[in-house]
């Protein structure tokens, strides 16, 4: 998920963004991971924090999936009235207000690189997991699809 040999199934753009997103979204005391999942009809990459007890908390989805990127409309700048950091912007996806993390695009201009987690994303995001945990060399969940917000311990 976050090691040099565990980037199976990730696109090149996701591999390039991962080191930057890992540090910008880091949760103290948790392992950071980049996992594949499904949100609606789109396959997405999700930045998650994994607690020592195995609980997975989604933090953001990357905008590398074309259906996600096409739906994002940045809200015009409010002149800094919201008190958010300069690398976070207000946006809309359909009728929903979201916050996006900005980063350099291919042309050097700042563009959305990730959509920060929302209750709707929490409810609809399904993550793929090759192996969730090991116990005495026994694989507990091989090839499973898990719904976030649940305790993944047996």
Q: Report yes or no on 7 lying in a domain.
A: no
Segment 134-152, tens digit of pLDDT: 444 433 444 444 444 444 4
Structural domain harbouring 20:
12-147
CA distance 134 to 138: 6
For a pLDDT cut of 70, what percent of the chain falls above it? 71
How confident is the model at residue 8, as a pLDDT?
57
Residue 106 in this model has a pLDDT that exceeds 80: no
Q: Report yes or no on 154 lying in a domain.
A: no
pTM of the prediction?
0.74
Q: Report yes or no on 35 lying in a domain.
A: yes
Q: Report how many domains make up the chain.
A: 1
Q: Report yes or no on 52 lying in a domain.
A: yes
Q: Report yes or no on 6 lying in a domain.
A: no
Q: Report yes or no on 3 lying in a domain.
A: no
CA distance 149 to 18: 22
How confident is the model at residue 63, as a pLDDT?
92
How confident is the model at residue 141, as a pLDDT?
47
Q: Report yes or no on 152 lying in a domain.
A: no
Q: Report yes or no on 153 lying in a domain.
A: no
Buried b / exposed e across 123-154, counting CB within 10 Å, b at 16+?
Answer: eebebebeebeeeeeeeeeeeeebebeeebee
Return the SS3 of 68: helix
């Amino acid at each position: 998920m976050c090691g040099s040999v565990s980037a199976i199934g990730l696109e090149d753009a996701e591999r390039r963004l991962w080191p930057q997103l890992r540090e910008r979204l880091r949760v103290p005391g948790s392992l950071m991971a980049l996992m594949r999942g499904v949100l609606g009809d789109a396959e997405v990459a999700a930045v998650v924090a994994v607690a020592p007890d195995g609980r997975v908390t989604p933090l953001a989805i990357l905008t590398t999936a074309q259906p996600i990127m096409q739906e994002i409309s940045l809200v015009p700048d409010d002149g800094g009235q919201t008190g958010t950091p300069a690398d976070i912007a207000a946006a809309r996806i359909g009728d929903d207000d979201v916050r996006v993390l900005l980063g350099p695009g291919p042309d050097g201009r700042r563009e959305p690189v990730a959509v920060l987690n929302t209750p709707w994303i929490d409810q609809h995001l399904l993550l793929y997991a090759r192996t969730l945990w090991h116990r005495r060399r026994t694989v507990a969940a091989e090839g499973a699809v898990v719904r976030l917000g649940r305790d993944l311990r047996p």
